[in-house]
């Protein structure tokens, strides 16, 4: 058995997020610029064969959880084929997808047949005009169809990711929570992070979990923090006191969970990162395309984990945002 993937602070790494593309079919303003987005040329994007090989090697080193993301992963032709390949790797215990849901209705069945069960759909609002102003695309209807398709097929869990931006997200909090409660879908709020392409983030634009808890408790029914949560899970969980529905918070800015981080990330263009906010990354594609042995790729994974820092520095004066925005790293 190879030694586990421990970093220099003793954190065990068993979770790999794989970005399969930097392209997207909508333009969320806290992620992408509206115009003139520069995408990586297709020839620089890892093929499914390359991703599968990398994942096999990572799983041998102790990775058990994989999540596909992007850009928008459903833009990759036959993503279900990749799901089937990754799900067949011995040692993968958890395979999940994060998507904006625009293309989900047409692909949900193929994804389900390929073995996918866990899905996170990104949706900030149920209001068409507000959706248009956030994403600069009129796609709310297709996303709702995609969520319904997943429910009919039996995906479990289905979660909705909403970005918590102050002075923007407030009108959507109660309608989204009701939508989730009625459908058995957990709504997860992700604090707005300094990973937008246009440099608009500032601390005052982060809507804090405490404010959302207060609103939901007042308008729907009290939220209660779930006891004995997995300390390695990024979200803190709350349940409505009437037993119907739950809400998660990914409070990366106000309550960083770096000390329990278990994740590494592979970008679509083949770079390995030990943190969303890392200022350095390590080239995998050259190895994959240059005839490297599995042992050489293992060594790169180990050395990336060993170099991992204690945590992001958003809350320190010296914080420097990474040169790549969210869509390019893979959220
Ligand atoms: N396109 C897919 C989607 O939107 O779910 C997958 C990629 S997207 C980069 C992954 C997640 O990042 C989304 O669910 C969205 O909620 C989150 N996200 C994007 N920009 C963000 C930002 N600046 N701060 C916090 N979360 C962000
Ligand atoms: Fe696309 Fe996801 Fe970024 Fe929105 S958050 S622009 S859906 S990659």
Instruction: Read off the CATH number of the domain in which 76 is found.
Output: 3.20.20.70
Cβ of 259: how many Cβ atoms within 10 Å? 11
Distance 100 CA to ligand 2 centre (A): 7
Beta strand pairing call for 236-240 and 246-250: antiparallel
Helix (H), strand (E) at residue 206 = none
Question: What pLDDT is attached to residue 156?
Answer: 97
In 3D space, the residue among 105, 115, 48 whose CA is nearest the CA of residue 76 turns out to be 48
Cβ atoms of 238 and 226 closer than 8 Å: yes
Residues in the ligand 1 pocket, defined by CB under 6 Å: 24, 30-31, 69-70, 72, 98-100, 122, 161, 163, 190, 192-193, 195-196, 326-327, 331
Classify residue 137: in a domain, yes or no.
yes
Classify residue 135: in a domain, yes or no.
yes
Exposure b/e, 136-154, CB count within 10 A at least 16 = b: bbebbebbbbbbebbeebe
Question: What pLDDT is attached to residue 317?
Answer: 73
Q: Which domain holds residue 289?
A: 15-329
Q: What is the pLDDT along the chain (331 residues), one digit of tens a residue?
A: 788 999 999 999 999 999 999 999 999 999 999 998 989 999 999 999 999 999 999 999 999 999 999 999 999 999 999 999 999 999 999 999 999 999 999 999 999 999 999 999 999 999 999 999 999 999 999 999 999 999 999 999 999 999 999 999 999 999 999 999 999 999 999 999 998 888 889 989 999 999 999 999 999 999 999 998 988 888 899 999 999 999 999 988 888 878 889 999 999 999 999 999 999 999 999 999 999 999 999 999 999 999 999 888 787 777 888 888 899 999 8
Residue nearest to atom 10 of ligand 1 (CA): 331
The CA distance from 98 to 18, in Å, is 10
State both tokens at 151.
Answer: 């429910």
Question: What pLDDT is attached to residue 313?
Answer: 76
Question: What pLDDT is attached to residue 1?
Answer: 78
Residue 253 near ligand 2, beta carbon < 6 Å: no
Pinpoint the alpha helices (H) of 154-293: 170-183, 209-219, 285-289
In 3D space, the residue among 255, 264, 294 whose CA is nearest the CA of residue 282 turns out to be 264
Classify residue 8: in a domain, yes or no.
no
Cβ atoms of 91 and 60 closer than 8 Å: yes
Classify residue 5: in a domain, yes or no.
no
Question: What pLDDT is attached to residue 308?
Answer: 95
The CA distance from 144 to 146, in Å, is 5
Classify residue 10: in a domain, yes or no.
no
Question: What pLDDT is attached to residue 197?
Answer: 86
Ligand 2 binding pocket mutation candidate from 40, 72, 146, 169 (most atoms within 8 A of CB): 72
- CA separation, residue 12 to residues 15, 123, 175, 258 (Å): 9, 31, 38, 12
Classify residue 4: in a domain, yes or no.
no
In 3D space, the residue among 258, 241, 239 whose CA is nearest the CA of residue 249 turns out to be 239
Give the ligand whose atoms come closest to the C-alpha of residue 72: 1
Cβ of 255: how many Cβ atoms within 10 Å? 13
Classify residue 161: in a domain, yes or no.
yes
Domain count, the chain: 1
Classify residue 2: in a domain, yes or no.
no
């Amino acid at each position: 058995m190879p030694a586990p993937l421990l970093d220099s602070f003793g954190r065990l790494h068993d979770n790999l997020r794989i970005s399969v593309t930097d392209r997207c079919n909508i333009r969320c303003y806290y992620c992408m610029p509206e115009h003139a987005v520069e995408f990586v040329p297709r020839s620089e994007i890892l093929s499914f064969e390359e991703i599968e090989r990398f994942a096999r090697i990572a799983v041998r080193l102790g990775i058990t959880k994989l999540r596909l993301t992007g850009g928008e992963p459903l833009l990759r032709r036959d993503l279900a084929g990749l799901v089937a390949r990754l799900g067949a790797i011995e040692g993968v215990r958890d395979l999940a997808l994060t998507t904006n849901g625009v293309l989900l209705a047409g692909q949900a069945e193929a994804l389900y047949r390929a073995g996918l069960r866990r899905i996170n759909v990104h949706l900030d609002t149920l209001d068409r005009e507000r959706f248009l102003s956030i994403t600069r695309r009129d796609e709310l209807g297709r996303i709702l169809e995609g969520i319904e398709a997943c429910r009919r097929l039996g995906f479990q869990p289905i979660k909705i990711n909403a970005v918590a931006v102050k002075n923007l997200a407030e009108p959507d909090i109660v309608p989204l929570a009701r939508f989730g409660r009625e459908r058995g879908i957990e709504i997860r709020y992700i604090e707005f992070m300094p990973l937008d392409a246009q440099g608009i983030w500032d601390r005052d634009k982060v809507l804090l979990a405490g404010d959302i808890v207060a609103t939901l408790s007042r308008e729907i029914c009290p939220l209660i923090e779930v006891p004995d949560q997995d300390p390695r899970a990024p979200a803190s969980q709350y349940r409505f006191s009437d037993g119907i529905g739950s809400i998660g918070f990914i409070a990366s800015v106000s309550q960083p969970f770096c000390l329990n981080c278990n994740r590494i990330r592979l970008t679509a263009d083949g770079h390995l990162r030990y943190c969303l906010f890392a200022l350095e990354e390590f080239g995998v594609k050259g190895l994959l395309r240059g005839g490297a042995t599995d042992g050489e790729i293992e060594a790169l994974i180990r050395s990336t984990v060993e170099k991992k820092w204690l945590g992001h520095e958003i809350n320190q004066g010296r914080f420097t945002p990474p040169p790549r925005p969210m869509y390019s790293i893979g959220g």
